[in-house]
Amino acid sequence: MTEAQKQRLEQQLWNIANELRGKMDADEFRDYILGFIFYKYLSEKQHLFANKLLETEDVKDYAKVTDKDDIEAIREESLQKLGYFLHPDELFTAISDKGNADTKGKSNFILEDLQAILNSIEQSTMGTDSEDDFNKLFEDLDLNSTKLGRSVDARNSLIARVLKHLDKIDFELGKVDADVLGDAYEYLISKFASGAGKKAGEFYTPQQVSKILAKIVTLDKKRIKSAYDPACGSGSLLLRIAKEADVGSFYGQELNRTTYNLARMNMILHDVHFSRFDIKQEDTLEEPQHLDHRFEAVVANPPFSAKWKGANNPLNETDERFSQYGKIAPASKADFAFVQHMIYQLADNGTAAIVLPHGVLFRGAAEGTIRKYLIKEQNYLDAVIGLPPNLFYGTAIPACILVLKKCRVHDDNIMFIDASAHFDKATNQNTLSDDHVAKIIETYERREMVEKYAYPAPLNEIAENGYNLNIPRYVDTFEEEESVDLDAVATSIRSLENDMKDTDRTIADFCDQLGIKTPFAV
């Protein structure tokens, strides 16, 4: 599939979403359209897989298979290889055709059948290795919600039309790279994020920011054993790493239930086998699910300055993630708690990159104590990268990236990069071009001073600044104004005054000729 074809697929899916959501908010309709796309993907994958198994049989099209023994054999193979199973009459095209059959101008009633199919997909995995990955995966598709229509008939009609439109699109799963549909899915997520306001920050990181993080944690590596995101949202950051290096396994944790479901769907849609990802739904700071693992690549864009229990929870004082730093991150700002958690989970040969608000660079009290320990005692902070303002959905504040390593090559300095003035302006949101991203990565890799852009600050200089990491202390971006020639200014003013007097005399002469009073004294 060419780039043009991929873009056409993305636009087709977005047009369907816009056409059919009616008055529903984009972020509300998101769960339905993405859920139905996911169901279609599972259906087409099942169909293709079953057809390969039927190549030597009399009936070669799975949609037409009725023999119970054949279906049972396909079910067993599907659960082992795909992780789920769809019966022939549960395939997407079958339910779409039923819903859109001509019955005197009305859609056939399919809500109960569709709900049963979605439940069946989940139930097919019970007792198998993929059960956790499919458990309650479709719970956000409430087919009885009045958001879809006030009456049952209205809801049924809308869903039948959605299925009909999607059924016309060939995902070409057997012909194209798995990432094509996955990228189209990501495109839809980003489009929904742009219209979701503050909520968007809960589930999506702008693609170019994701690219920076992914490139940093994979520098000089072609394969990553394991990648982890403790606030994984839709999983886009983790999947971005896979575009830079081969990733063995993906791990993530997400608090929001809807977003957690989206992350699992996103993994499967990118053809990540269920055995290669482990996404959990729980509060990472209070109920961490992967503490016995250490990860080679760690990325995160946690909610900025989120509240957590902090020092109000006595258990945090003995928690190995937080106890050694001398202070607990304040309950009103969990930023450093996420940093500490990521450090704990980071492998000795790993790299972590985390997006945070600028306040973590200079705020005092407990955060100042933690920051000092991180630099002076651990020496894990490798770089600080300042990003432009208004990059992120739902907030216009500028953010920074902290790069962390336990075994640093350049352990006598911290690299500061001020990329805050390097961006493309857009109507609602600033963006980073590929050139902007490349400059950040190249500068980080070279670790050389670049006037008004980058500076490798010696640790003793940082100590002299009281471990304050505010970027302007290290990267001087001050632009001197051109000097002013006061004599020339004075001469210009006198010339203007003379011109004004000449003009006044001309006006007075006109007034005299007209026989009217002059409006001012000459």
Nearest to 64 by CA among 56, 76, 54: 54
Nearest to 463 by CA among 394, 390, 412, 502: 412
| Alpha carbon of residue 194 to chain centroid | 11
Between CA 325 and CA 474 the distance in angstroms is 25
Structure-token pair, residue 11: 């636009």
Q: How high is the pLDDT of residue 412? A: 96
CA 326 – CA 487 distance, rounded (Å):
61
Burial class (CB in 10 A: 0-12, 13-18, 19+), 141: buried
pLDDT of the residue at 192: 78
Instruction: Judge whether 263 and 280 are in contact, CB under 8 Å.
Output: no
Task: Report the C-alpha gap between 373 and 367 in whole angstroms.
Answer: 10
Annotated domain spans of the chain: 3-194, 197-473, 483-522
Pick 3-194's CATH classification: 1.10.760.10, 2.60.120.200, 1.20.1260.30, 2.60.120.260. 1.20.1260.30
| pLDDT of the residue at 245 | 97
Residue 127 is classified by DSSP as T
pLDDT of the chain, 522 residues: tens digit per residue = 567 777 888 888 888 887 667 667 766 788 888 899 999 999 999 999 999 999 999 999 999 999 999 999 999 999 999 999 999 999 999 999 999 887 666 668 899 999 999 999 999 999 999 999 999 999 989 999 888 888 999 889 889 999 999 998 888 787 766 667 888 888 888 877 766 554 545 557 888 999 999 999 999 999 999 999 999 998 999 999 999 999 999 999 999 998 999 999 999 999 999 999 999 999 999 999 999 999 999 999 999 999 999 888 888 999 999 999 999 999 999 999 999 999 999 999 999 999 999 999 999 999 999 999 999 999 999 999 999 998 887 677 889 999 999 999 999 999 999 999 999 987 778 889 999 999 999 999 999 999 999 999 999 999 999 999 999 999 987 666 677 778 888 888 888 888 888 888 888 888 878 888 887 666
**Structure-token match 């997400």, residue found:** 254
Pair 182, 5: CB distance under 8 Å: no
Phi, psi of 331 (to 5 degrees): -60, -25
Looking at residue 404, its pLDDT comes to 98
What would be the CATH architecture of the domain defined by 197-473? 3-Layer(aba) Sandwich (3.40)
* Distance of alpha carbon 456 from alpha carbon 413, whole angstroms: 6
Instruction: State whether residue 268 is helix, strand or coil.
Output: helix
Q: Specify the pLDDT at position 302.
A: 94
Contact 128, 78 (CB under 8 A): no
Alpha helices in 346-424 (DSSP H): 365-372
The residues with which 247 forms a beta bridge, in sequence order, are 224
How far lies 418's CA from each of 218, 401, 456, in Å?
A: 21, 11, 12
Predicted TM-score (pTM) of the model is: 0.87
The neighbouring-strand residues paired with 224 are: 247
Say whether 88 sits in a helix, a strand or coil.
Answer: helix
pLDDT at 200: 46
Q: Counting Cβ atoms within 10 Å, is residue 232 exposed (0-12), middle (13-18) or buried (19+)?
A: buried
Instruction: Give the per-residue pLDDT at 425.
Output: 86
DSSP characters over 413-472:
EEEEEE-TT--B--SSS-B--HHHHHHHHHHHHH---BTTTEEEEEHHHHHHTTT---GG
